[in-house]
């Protein structure tokens, strides 16, 4: 079972955007995917509630009385959305469940500082030191013309970790989220630029 964690202790960096759209892409390609939400705000679960049954199916946790939540039987891919402030024992517990971690961040000094400490925490884990964990960075809402974009590029280069995608700021994500959709559920002609920007991330997830 392929499990991907979307995490950053800084709130509002685009974790749910990546989680819902990655799950949408897995579903579009025929995978049996579960989108799990461990965020108190339950953003991803709310997204699933408004998702049309005519779209490729995305499951949530299988919850039964007196039993721990688990992926539904037959699940091939799991995407886990996480809350702001994730660290310490909770982070270690979640990392033990996954093989890949995607860390989104935005081009602001506050995001960069918060993410720097989080990356250091990830790099210090036993899973990463034993090559049992892959970490990929995603630059969110990046406008290459700004000074902030230059700052984030310098930071990302200094981490030594792969930058697996640069995703632009677009209303397509807002429109998709409002209807329980991913950009991959839209007509390709409408979102071609955005789908193209996802290709490096999708290749990284698929270990291509």
In which residue are the tokens 């709310």 written? 46
Superfamily of domain 2-205: P-loop containing nucleotide triphosphate hydrolases (3.40.50.300)
Confidence of residue 195 (pLDDT cuts 50, 70, 90): very high
d(CA 99, CA 92): 12
pLDDT score, position 99:
92
Domain boundaries, the chain: 2-205
Strand ranges inside 113-194, DSSP E: 134-140, 163-167
Other C-beta atoms within 10 Å of 114: how many?
19
Kindly state the percentage of the chain with pLDDT values over 70: 94
Q: List, for residues 88-126, the tens digit of each pLDDT value.
A: 888 888 898 899 999 998 877 778 888 888 999 999 988
Confidence of residue 42 (pLDDT cuts 50, 70, 90): low
Average pLDDT over residues 131-151: 81
d(CA 164, CA 70): 29
Which has the higher per-residue pLDDT, 90 or 177? 177
Which has the higher per-residue pLDDT, 49 or 43? 49
pTM assigned to the model: 0.92
Residue 74 has pLDDT above 90, yes or no: yes
pLDDT score, position 150:
74
Q: List, for residues 142-167, the tens digit of each pLDDT value.
A: 766 677 667 777 877 788 888 899 89
d(CA 21, CA 118): 23
Which has the higher per-residue pLDDT, 207 or 158? 207
CA angle 118, 121, 125 (to 5 degrees): 140
């Amino acid at each position: 079972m392929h499990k991907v964690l979307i995490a950053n202790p800084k709130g509002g960096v685009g974790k749910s955007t990546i989680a819902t759209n990655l799950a949408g892409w897995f579903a579009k390609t025929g995978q049996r995917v579960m989108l799990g939400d461990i965020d108190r705000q339950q953003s991803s679960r709310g997204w699933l509630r408004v998702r049309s049954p005519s779209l490729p199916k995305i499951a949530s946790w299988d919850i039964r009385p007196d039993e721990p939540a688990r992926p539904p039987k037959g699940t091939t891919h799991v995407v886990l959305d996480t809350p702001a402030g994730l660290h310490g024992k909770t982070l270690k517990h979640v990392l033990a469940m996954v093989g890949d971690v995607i860390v989104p961040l935005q081009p602001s000094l506050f995001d960069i500082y918060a993410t720097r400490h989080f990356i250091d925490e990830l790099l210090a884990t036993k899973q990463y030191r034993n090559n049992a964990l892959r970490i990929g960075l995603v630059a969110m809402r990046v406008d290459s013309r700004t000074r902030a974009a230059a700052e984030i590029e310098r930071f990302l280069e200094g981490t030594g970790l792969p930058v697996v995608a640069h995703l632009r700021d677009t209303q397509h994500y807002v429109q998709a989220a409002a209807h329980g959709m991913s950009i991959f559920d839209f007509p390709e002609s409408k979102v071609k630029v955005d789908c193209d920007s996802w290709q490096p991330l999708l290749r990284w997830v698929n270990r291509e």
